[in-house]
Amino acid sequence: MPKHIFVTGGVVSSLGKGLTSGAVGTLLESRGLRVSIQKMDPYINVDPGTMSPFQHGEVYVTTDGAETDLDLGHYERFTNARISRESNYTTGRIYLNVIQKERRGEYLGKTVQVVPHITNEIKDAIRRAASSDVDIAITEIGGTVGDIESLPFLEAIRQMGWELGRDNVCYLHLTLIPFLRASGEMKTKPTQHSVGKLREIGIQPDFLLCRTEQHIGEEERSKIGLFCNVPPSHVIEEKDVDTSIYELPIVLAEQGLDELVVQHLKVQSGKRDISSWEKIVAILKDPQRTVEIAVVGKYLEVHDSYKSMWESLTHGGIANSAKVRLRKVNAQEVEKSGPEKLLAGAHGLLVPGGFGERGVEGKIAAIRYAREKQLPFFGLCLGMQCATIEYARTICGIKQANSAEFAPGGPDSVICLMDSQKHVVDKGGTMRLGSYPCHVSKGSRAWQAYGAEVVHERHRHRFEFNNSYKDSLEKAGFRISGTSPDGKLVEIIELEDHPWFVATQFHPEYQSKPTAAHPLFRAFVKAALDHAEKSK
Ligand code: GLN
């Protein structure tokens, strides 16, 4: 039977519960324990797939094709936990399940209520994620204690503590200790209130993880412990990290959090070994080289919108002992002032995924610049589609080449709607989603990077390369270097007479880790470093 860790948050949102849950997972795995991680999101959408990136940040796609919260990306980057559609539930999905059961008559005439029916559905979802092959199941409860909408989740985890016994459940509460500059003081009152709220619900936290800008002294630690009913040694400081989020496991390890948690849960474990994380942080603190990558996109104001892509660039840097400096370039700015000024001096161009027409011409212009100037280029999903349009227009002379997404019914849809999408009406969960195999052509740049002929990558798209244009594009030097096993779906394209020009229909950024950079990100950053060297 797995033991459970429940992670809640208080005072304000955006404290980094996802990162903290991931880092706790890192530490437990480093002691030889097997973990699962799951997130409960209290909003009503069935999943975040239909939400705008401005609202919710990146939609993270799991191997089995679920559109989930971006915190699951942190879980996969920080741990080896098996992440699937069982790893993310929303209030909407819980209610949908309950209502469908009610319609099927499964409640045998009973009145269906929040307690016990919704809470039972939540507990079932938690138990399913905590399969018998894991030692510790971590469940993060999204939102902030005190929100109306998180109440059923908190009630469910309260019940689990009662049912499983306090040795089998550990409540970890993430909170904020603000520092008031005017009085030069740390304030513990908001934490006292949020723990008070939690205790009202019937949950006594076992550990308090305190987000803070300043070091928490012994006096404050004792005070927090006293008011919140936890031993001062269980008041853990989570100071803002200077260099990278990948320092977090180290910060928590220094205070022995993992040791205290395994003691609380009475689990046997090995000695912690986080040397691989220490190496990563050492590289990030003292990189040998620096390289600048321009990213031309449209959701750049919200850093979270391309979360996995930013992280993957960092990983590509780590694999090359380099720091990746990011230059965020708004695609619409490229439309206004041209790529020359905005991209000058960059060592590589990345065009990420996206939806809708806005900014597309700017992306195409930027890609043309990279192709003509021999600047390393990496395209992801929409980035690959834009690269195809650019090549068709400029090199093959198909002047009106476009995507059916932006010019429906146009004369030359080199990117067209996938056959499997033609009858799709519902928006949620209906794209081509999840992991599919891809055959990589021997000798191609992609093959050189992967060192393999068959790879598995995750997808999230409705449009694809139109095979009617395959011959004319290939004759003009466009190389299709990766396809679905039946050869029908184009998955990777590249150019030969260019130092590094590779674009994928899939999203490699969902599979990159700080400890194991995705091969294409590693190769792209390497190409950018070579370009930087040459242009010195
Ligand atoms: N909008 C494009 C499509 O649906 C690209 C999607 C993406 O970049 N994720 O095919």
Answer whether 461 contacts ligand 1 (Cβ < 6 A): yes
Using the mean position of ligand 1's atoms as its centre, give its distance from the Cα of residue 199 in Å: 45
Residue nearest to atom 8 of ligand 1 (CA): 353
Using the mean position of ligand 1's atoms as its centre, give its distance from the Cα of residue 58 in Å: 13
Using the mean position of ligand 1's atoms as its centre, give its distance from the Cα of residue 164 in Å: 45
Residue nearest to atom 6 of ligand 1 (CA): 461
Question: For 83-107, how does the pLDDT look when each residue is reduced to its tens digit (9 = 90+)?
Answer: 999 999 999 999 999 999 999 999 9
Closest residue by Cα to residue 269 from 23, 3, 31, 35: 31
Q: Which residues of 43-77 are buried (b: 16+ CB within 10 A; e: fewer)?
A: bebbbbbeeebeebbbbbbbbebbbbbbbbbbbbb
Q: Token pair of 420, please?
A: 């499997």
The reported pLDDT for the residue numbered 415 is 97
Q: For residues 403 and 387, give the distance between their C-alpha atoms in angstroms, rounded to a whole number.
A: 11
pTM of the model: 0.95
Cα angle: 33, vertex 38, 40; to 5 degrees: 150
Q: Token pair of 403, please?
A: 């995507």
**Ligand 1 pocket, mutate which of 460, 464, 504, 510 (most atoms under 8 A from CB):** 460
Give every CB contact of residue 216 below 8 A, 6+ residues apart in sequence.
177, 186, 210, 224, 235, 237
Q: Using the atom order of ligand 1, give the atom closest to the CA of residue 380.
A: 8
Q: Token pair of 168, please?
A: 């089998």
Paired with 513 in beta bridges are 516
The reported pLDDT for the residue numbered 11 is 83
Q: Token pair of 200, please?
A: 């009202």
Question: For 475-512, how does the pLDDT look when each residue is reduced to its tens digit (9 = 90+)?
Answer: 999 999 999 999 999 999 999 999 999 999 999 999 99
Q: Quick one: pLDDT band at residue 344, thresholds 50, 70, 90?
A: very high
Percentage of the chain lying above the pLDDT 70 cut: 100
Give every CB contact of residue 430 below 8 A, 6+ residues apart in sequence.
421, 424
Q: Give the SS3 label for residue 429.
A: coil
Q: Range with the lowest mean pLDDT among 8-17, 251-260, 412-421?
A: 8-17
Q: For residues 26 and 276, give the distance between their C-alpha atoms in angstroms, rounded to a whole number.
A: 11
Round the average pLDDT of the chain to a whole number and report it: 95
Cα angle: 134, vertex 139, 140; to 5 degrees: 150
Mind telling me the catalytic residues? 381, 507, 509
**Ligand 1 pocket, mutate which of 50, 382, 424, 489 (most atoms under 8 A from CB):** 382
Percentage of the chain lying above the pLDDT 90 cut: 90
Closest residue by Cα to residue 24 from 174, 212, 181: 174
Q: For residues 379 and 501, give the distance between their C-alpha atoms in angstroms, rounded to a whole number.
A: 8
Answer whether 67 contacts ligand 1 (Cβ < 6 A): no
Answer whether 69 contacts ligand 1 (Cβ < 6 A): no
**Ligand 1 pocket, mutate which of 427, 457, 463, 506 (most atoms under 8 A from CB):** 463
Closest residue by Cα to residue 518 from 73, 174, 190, 92: 73
Mean pLDDT across 276-287: 95
Pairing of the two strands 136-141 and 3-9: parallel
Residue 160 reports pLDDT greater than 90: yes
E strands along 230-383, which residues?
A: 235-239, 289-297, 322-330, 348-351, 377-380
Question: For 386-436, how does the pLDDT look when each residue is reduced to its tens digit (9 = 90+)?
Answer: 999 999 999 999 999 999 999 999 999 999 999 888 898 888 889 999 999
Question: For 411-423, how does the pLDDT look when each residue is reduced to its tens digit (9 = 90+)?
Answer: 999 999 998 888 9
Q: Using the atom order of ligand 1, give the atom closest to the CA of residue 507.
A: 9
Closest residue by Cα to residue 361 from 373, 376, 351: 351
Using the mean position of ligand 1's atoms as its centre, give its distance from the Cα of residue 464 in Å: 8
Using the mean position of ligand 1's atoms as its centre, give its distance from the Cα of residue 380 in Å: 9
